[in-house]
Structure 1
Amino acid sequence: MQDKIYEKSPHFVQNWIVSIYNLLAYKKRYSGKYKYFLEDYLQKRSLSLDELKELQIQKYKELINHAKNHSEYYRNIFSKIESPEDLANIKQLPIIDKETLRNNLSGIYTVKKSEGILSKTGGTTGKSLEVLYSPDDVQERFALLDNFRNEFGYKLGKKTAWFSGKNLLGKTDLKKNRFWKTDHIHKVRYYSTFHIHGKYLKYYIENLITYQPEYMVGFPSTMYEIAKYGMAHDIDFPANIIKAIFPTAETITDDIRDVLEGYFKTNLYNQYASSEGAPFIFECKNKKLHMDLKSGVFEVLNENNEPSKKGRLVVTSFTTHGTPLIRYDIGDQIELADDNDTCDCGNNNPLVKEVLGRISDYIYSEEIGKINLGNISNCLKGVKGIVKFQIQQDVIDSLLVLIEKDDQIYSPEYEKVFLKNLRDRVGSSITIEVKHVAEIPVEKSGKYRLIKNNIKEEINV
């Protein structure tokens, strides 16, 4: 019923519906203990590493005891382990993957659906997952996130351009080349991530320049396409408008960072978390990534479940009391910084060299092995006229490359450069099929995927 009212309402009414919806959502996020958490984390911002580790031990014990007392699933697991609340014994606990979590949710939940706050993962690499947060969980997570963004001047109410998976547009919007809705109360303009096509992108840029947001938040792939279009068509973006870019939900490659910072003439500050409630990794003013020990436990493991500098990420999150995430294999991988790497920003949390992203975001070649997202994204170096591309792998020895091109700039010579770059990365033996398409669609979540690897279960390396 509400959706039908929204769809039939004129643009200015839709803006106020969005504003009121946010007013209700923000009441959940910023009420209760939010201010307490925000002030508490602000005071703890300069804790020493030893103090952070001691706080981590305390919060781990509290989470385990909560799960033991309120979750049937974890109560059964912990009954077989001596002192499970001791962080030193964490390796005795089983690692839980997404499918295990999904299949046991009813026994894992510690709150009823009517009492919790529901969050759904996007399901871009599989089936969607529903987790429940307690109100305190939500307020603490937003306090952690706001504490990070506040370091760069951001506060709710400052003019912001937001690019996320909200599909808010109607047919009239498309006819009028209007790809946004505005929350007038909180000064947030939501730009569609479902209409990132060459024929529309100039309207995004024109509106961003007119709107003059201080901050940009959301899917980096969307902002990246807008920036690339502006650069390719010599549309200069004014300096000193955007104070910072805060990407969400997707992996940041060097190319994405360079393009966004170069075109919008500002700094990008990365952060890592997840819809399920993973603990946070924040980038500081020195452009270094820090694991936030106040938010959880991070384990980087190899294929034998042994600690490693580079490997898959297994997390225990202190802000998931509604659906406890304890030794949860989140499906991402990171690389830790060298032991001698330091940072003088004042944040003493351990350093991460790189967030490598989803384990499934790679191409596999029998000749080369796994080629990760960052290497694939660099195939556009020296190339013009290719608006975006996507590589699909459905069999071991073949790749399908979808290319969306700008006919005014594209030439076969540029495609040859692109294919050479790709061939240099995947080897000479794998078959590459190219298919030109009018548009590469985003996922249902509004995210764009550069790589769609559909054979990862067949790869045993």
Structure 2
Amino acid sequence: MMKRLYNILPHFIQNLLISLYNILAYKKRYGGNYSKYFKGINQNYTLSKFELEKIQQQRFSLTIEEAMKHSSFYQKQYSKIENPNDIKNITQLPILSKEMLRQNIEQIKTIDKRKGILSKTGGTTGKAIEVIFTLDNIQERYAFLDNFRSQYGYVLGKRTAWFSGKALLSKTDTKKKRFWKTDYWFKVRYYSTFHIKTPYLKYYLENLIQFKPEYIIGFPSSILEIAKYGIQNGYHFPPDTIKAIFPTAETITEEIRNCLEVFFKTVVYNQYASSEGAPFIFECSKNNLHLEMQSGVYEVLDQNNNPTKSGKLIVTSFTTKGTPLIRYDIGDDIELSDNICTCGNNNPIVKTILGRTDDYVYSKENGKINLGNISNTLKETKGIIQFQVIQNYPESILIKLIIDSRLYNSSIEKIFVQNWRDRVGNEIHIELEYVSEIPNEISGKYRMVKNNIKHLIDV
């Protein structure tokens, strides 16, 4: 109902509503303990590795203690542990898989939905996960993010172009070749990532030049398409406009980084987190990725769950009290480095984040649908355990689904299909196939998207 009402409102009223929504949302994010967290993170930036490890150990013990006190799931899991400080080695604790999280989510949660902030996401593994953050969690997480971005001059209120999975456009917008909405209060322009295709890229690019953002944040695959279009068509982005690009949700390859930096005449600073609340990895001024030990514990394990330099990432988060994540197999791989950075940050260095891909679905109507938007098709659904989308033809996609029949029904199916329609348009044929298993690749990796027509697409 609210969405239908929004779609028929005039453009300037829609912009006003977006500003009002952000004012209310930011009041929560930047209230409470936000300032205290921001100041503390900033003060601890140059701590020694020993001091960081001490903070990490203290927060780890507190995380275990609170999970045992408030989560019935962890009470059973850790029933033999009398004192969290007695845990000498994290490997004493069991690993939490995505499926375990999904199946036991009600027992894992420590607060009611009405008292927290809900995050509904599929993630890039295609599994439906719904977690709850406490307000304090959200404030600390934004303090981490803002502290990272502030090192490159960013503060809330700086002119920013944002590319994310928000469905904000109406049919009138697309007819008028207007692919953005603007929060004039906080100077943020939200660009649709559902309409990134060749006939429209001109309008995106020319509006970006006119808007003159100081920062770009969002899906790198969408920003990349605009940069490639600009290079191919002889556009010259004004120098000294953009101070930094902060990508989200997807892997940054050297090819992507080089293209963005050359065209927009700026620097890309990468980050890693997750909608479930994983600890952070931030890129420093020397272009090294650092594990943020104040936000959680990272383990890198091989297939036999032994420590290794390159393998699957297991995380324990300090900012997910509402839905504790302890030794959580997040589904990504990373490779660690033995190098020591000269930037002054003594957190360990990550050589490569391997887990996320830049795969996509192609729609003749809407162009490339990136992985971040694909994972968001699970929003507002229940009972979808896992899905995989396969594209063998430009005019159709096949979506394989594993469902929980106790939660999934025809109404949920309609929501899921509509979420896809919002992204791929109405022309492409969508076929749903309900299966009991979605096999991994020969490599052992799970792929949420299998695009078999990339050779047919003019990139």
TM-score range, shorter chain: 0.7 to 0.9
**Partner SS, residue 199 of structure 2:** coil
Change (3 A) 1:162 1:61: same
Residue 457 of structure 1: CA displacement?
A: 6.2
Residue 124 of structure 1: CA displacement?
A: 4.5
Amino acid in structure 2 at the alignment position of 1:297: V
Q: Give CA-to-partner distance per residue, 1:161-212, whole Å, 9 cap, x none.
A: 0000001001110111000000011000000000001000000000000000
Residue 357 of structure 1: CA displacement?
A: 1.9
Residue 27 of structure 1: CA displacement?
A: 1.0
Residue 128 of structure 1: CA displacement?
A: 2.2
Q: 1:302-381, aligned counterparts within 5 Å?
A: 302-337=302-337, 339=338, 341-358=339-356, 361=357
CA distance in 2, matches of 1:106, 1:390: 31
Match of residue 430 from structure 1: none
Structure 1: gaps (5+ residues): 362-372, 378-386, 392-398, 405-441, 448-453
Paired positions, count: 387
**Partner SS, residue 88 of structure 1:** coil
Amino acid in structure 2 at the alignment position of 1:62: L
Identity %: 57
Change (3 A) 1:331 1:460: closer
CA distance in 2, matches of 1:389, 1:72: 39
CA distance in 2, matches of 1:262, 1:456: 37
Residue 68 of structure 1: CA displacement?
A: 0.6
Residue 90 of structure 1: CA displacement?
A: 1.1
CA distance in 1, matches of 2:48, 2:333: 26
Residue 400 of structure 1: CA displacement?
A: 7.0
Change (3 A) 1:195 1:170: same
CA distance in 2, matches of 1:290, 1:7: 42
Q: 1:243-258, aligned counterparts within 5 Å?
A: 243-258=243-258
Contact in 1 for aligned 2:98/2:127 (Cα 8 Å)? no
CA distance in 2, matches of 1:115, 1:170: 32
CA distance in 2, matches of 1:74, 1:327: 12
Change (3 A) 1:87 1:36: farther
The TM-score with structure 1 as length reference comes to 0.79
CA distance in 2, matches of 1:87, 1:226: 50
Contact in 2 for aligned 1:261/1:268 (Cα 8 Å)? yes
When the two chains are superposed, the root-mean-square deviation of aligned CA atoms in Å is 2.6
Change (3 A) 1:111 1:282: same
Structure 2: gaps (5+ residues): 361-366, 372-389, 396-418, 425-437, 446-459
Change (3 A) 1:402 1:240: farther
For the pair 1:57 / 2:57, whether they are aligned, the reply is yes
Amino acid in structure 2 at the alignment position of 1:220: P
Match of residue 237 from structure 1: 237
Contact in 1 for aligned 2:270/2:283 (Cα 8 Å)? yes
CA distance in 2, matches of 1:141, 1:390: 25
Change (3 A) 1:388 1:321: closer
CA distance in 1, matches of 2:219, 2:292: 22
Q: Give CA-to-partner distance per residue, 1:258-293, whole Å, 9 cap, x none.
A: 111111110000000000000000000000000000
Change (3 A) 1:329 1:175: same
For the pair 1:284 / 2:268, whether they are aligned, the reply is no
Match of residue 215 from structure 2: 215
CA distance in 2, matches of 1:307, 1:72: 29
